[in-house]
Amino acid sequence: MAEAGAAQPPERVMLEGSLGIATLAALARNLADLPADRPLILDLTAASSVDTAAVMALLEERDRRLAAGQPVEIAPGPARERLLALIDETVPLAPDPAPRRRTLADDLERIGRGTAGFVVTGAELLGYLGLFLDRLARAIVQPRRFRLTAFVAQADAAGLQAVPIVLLISFLIGVVIGFQGALQLRQFGAEIFAVDLIAISVLRELAVLLTSIIVAGRTASAYTATIGSMKMNEEIDAMRTLGIDPVEALIVPRILALIVTLPILVLLADIAGLIGGAAMSWATLNISPSMFATRLIEGVDWIHAVVGLVKAPVFALLIGLIGCHAGMRVKGDAASLGMMTSRAVVAAIFAVIVADAGFSIVFAEVGL
């Protein structure tokens, strides 16, 4: 096509009138109707006005046709020659390259990078665990180093302020378990065992798991956002300059507050879940609160509550470490802060669920 077009004389296309953003659609249609089998000269000398949008459209059309092998030239005239040259030099109009097809090697590379990143993050979390234990030991040996005010403030934010949502969700979970258990056990005339179902489910698994997930969503994100904002504003660097240890001042009070408050939240969730289950059992199975309490005391082993409470400090440690670690990894821009905050929440919830599965296996092996 290029050789056939070069053998023919160029066709001069006179563009008249006002060429601007208001007439851009009409200009695009006119350019699309031009022949593609001969050289073209787009003449702007007869146009009354030409703005940058029209010039960019003409340059884009020229580049497209040149890429297809059709010679195209723009004749702006003396008055507009500088405008055309300026836009042609400063605005890249080359078409985006076609996306490369993903191959198996690309997928394997992506999996490898993700695995390597996971291993590196795990190693960094172990490092932060060591820093936390080291600074905590120093605070125990030298109590004046412990920042009590920060600990109380973080305990209030992570624990006390989470009580309403934890109680509500735990109560509703108890109601749901009581209702679903009643539907199934009624078929076998075993309604009284609904108490055992509710108690074991709530005390052993659901209360601690749901409470930890709620805290992971609230607190891990808050820790990441707070520490990340301080890092963006170079406040952590300023603390180091003043001789203040960021781990001692920021990380230890937060993680320790979470370790102290999460078992209390789990205990409150146990109570709320049992109350919800008792209310639903009374409404659907005619099991009075006194009968529910009697069956709970006589038929349910207290070890189930202990199993749930034992998990809470470990979950709190995981949530605190992940939230603080993500905050310290924030770069100097808002996009990094948002990305690390969302990653912290997902990672904390994932870690809680994996740890809960591990606890289930261990307790099953030891007979608890």
Contacts of 220 (CB under 8 A, 6+ apart): 319, 320, 322, 323, 326, 344, 345, 347, 348
Helices 252-285 and 289-299 pack at an angle, to 10 degrees, of 120
Instruction: Judge whether 223 and 207 are in contact, CB under 8 Å.
Output: no
Break the chain into its structural domains and give their ranges.
2-90, 142-366
Report yes or no on whether pTM surpasses 0.75.
no
Helices and strands, number each (H, E), in the chain = 16, 5
Alpha-carbon distance of 62 to 42, in angstroms, equals 9
The alpha carbon dihedral of 224, 227, 231, 233 has a sign of: positive
Q: pLDDT in tens for each of the 368 residues of the chain?
A: 444 444 577 778 787 778 777 777 777 787 777 777 778 788 777 777 777 777 788 888 888 878 777 788 887 777 777 777 777 777 665 555 566 777 888 788 889 988 888 888 888 889 889 988 988 898 888 888 888 888 999 899 888 889 999 999 999 999 998 888 877 877 777 777 888 888 889 998 899 999 999 999 999 999 999 999 988 888 888 988 888 888 888 899 999 999 999 999 999 999 999 999 999 888 888 888 888 888 888 878 888 888 989 999 999 999 999 999 999 888 877 888 888 999 999 999 999 999 999 999 998 888 77
Smallest CA-to-CA distance from 252 within 126, 344, 142, 132 is with 132
DSSP of 15-68, one letter per residue? --EEESGGGHHHHHHHHHTS-SSS-EEEE-TTEEEE-HHHHHHHHHHHHHHHHT
Instruction: Judge whether 321 and 132 are in contact, CB under 8 Å.
Output: yes
Beta-carbon neighbour count of residue 154 at 10 Å? Answer: 26
8-state DSSP, 73: E
Alpha-carbon distance of 77 to 62, in angstroms, equals 17
Alpha-carbon distance of 266 to 208, in angstroms, equals 5
pLDDT single digits (tens) 109-145: 889 988 888 888 888 889 889 988 988 898 888 888 8
Instruction: Judge whether 278 and 292 are in contact, CB under 8 Å.
Output: yes
Return the pLDDT at 3: 45
CATH number of this structure's domain 2-90 = 3.30.750.24
Beta-carbon neighbour count of residue 252 at 10 Å? Answer: 28
Beta-carbon neighbour count of residue 45 at 10 Å? Answer: 13
3-state secondary structure 245-283: CHHHHHHHHHHHHHHHHHHHHHHHHHHHHHHHHHHHHHH
